[in-house]
Amino acid sequence: MSFGAYLKKTREEKGLGLNQLSLKSGVSSSQISRIENGKMGTPKVSTIKKLAFGLGIDEAKLLSIAGYLPEPTKTTENMIPIKPDDVISVPVIGTIKAGPNGVAFEDHQGTEIVMTNGLDISYEYFYLVVSGDSMIGDGIFDGDYALIKKTQNFCNGDICAVIVDGEEGTLKHVTRSDDSIVLTASNSKYPPRVFVGNKMNELLISGKLVRTMRMF
């Protein structure tokens, strides 16, 4: 089935007219019509992501139908085929703060596809865009994407996304004892930050670093 035919079939199954999908996705109804009728080529990835959002379906499925994700019949010996179930979409966040439910996402920058290999998908995940050079000793640089598993469980020394005083989201090594929490950078020009007593309540562990990604 062509991408356009699949898009039309899915739209109709969702009970959406062209104008309704246009409003939900931000893609013009005329462009959607041309796509469905095969009068234009495969849309850009950004357009497909918008259409998936408007349809309320996993964008990986649409990307696979469009040919952006490899299929087993198109792979070579040094490539590993993936299926739509092998990937998930996670939000990309520029800023995290404390919110009523634990973590408030701010400066939402869209989504990115993540391979589920090695992930416990019973957890939620998000990308935090790294700001600054405090973690360069761990090979984490300004502008990198840090994949964070939303959990407050960690082992001493783990790199975690920590919210300080409800406002400042930071990525640091965390060491916790009965009477203190220490946030440690991996750049020697930044001294450790020690929180003791009531100051420990100013910290919220929003998640644990799983992996990083660099955009070129």
The single residue of 8, 49, 50, 172 carrying the catalytic annotation is: 172
Exactly one of 22, 25, 134, 206 is catalytic; name it.
Answer: 134
Nearest-angstrom CA–CA distance, 123 and 134: 27
Query: Would you state the torsion angle of the CA atoms of residues 45, 50, 55, 57, taken in this order, to the nearest 10 degrees?
Result: 50
1: how many CB neighbours lie within 10 A of its CB? 9
First to last CA, the chain: 34
188 is known as an active-site residue = no
Starting at the edge strand found earlier in the chain, the sheet holding 193-196 runs 102-115, 87-99, 125-129, 145-149, 203-213, 159-164, 168-176, 180-184, 193-196
Residue 29 falls in the annotated catalytic set: no
Q: Is 37 exposed, middle or buried (0-12, 13-18, 19+ CB in 10 A)?
A: exposed
Q: With the C-alpha atoms ordered 155, 161, 164, 165, is the resulting torsion angle positive or negative?
A: negative
In sequence order, which residues have a C-beta less than 8 Å from that of residue 33 and are 6 or more positions away? 18
Find the DSSP H helices in the chain: 3-13, 18-25, 29-36, 45-55, 59-66
Hey, which residues are catalytic here? 134, 172
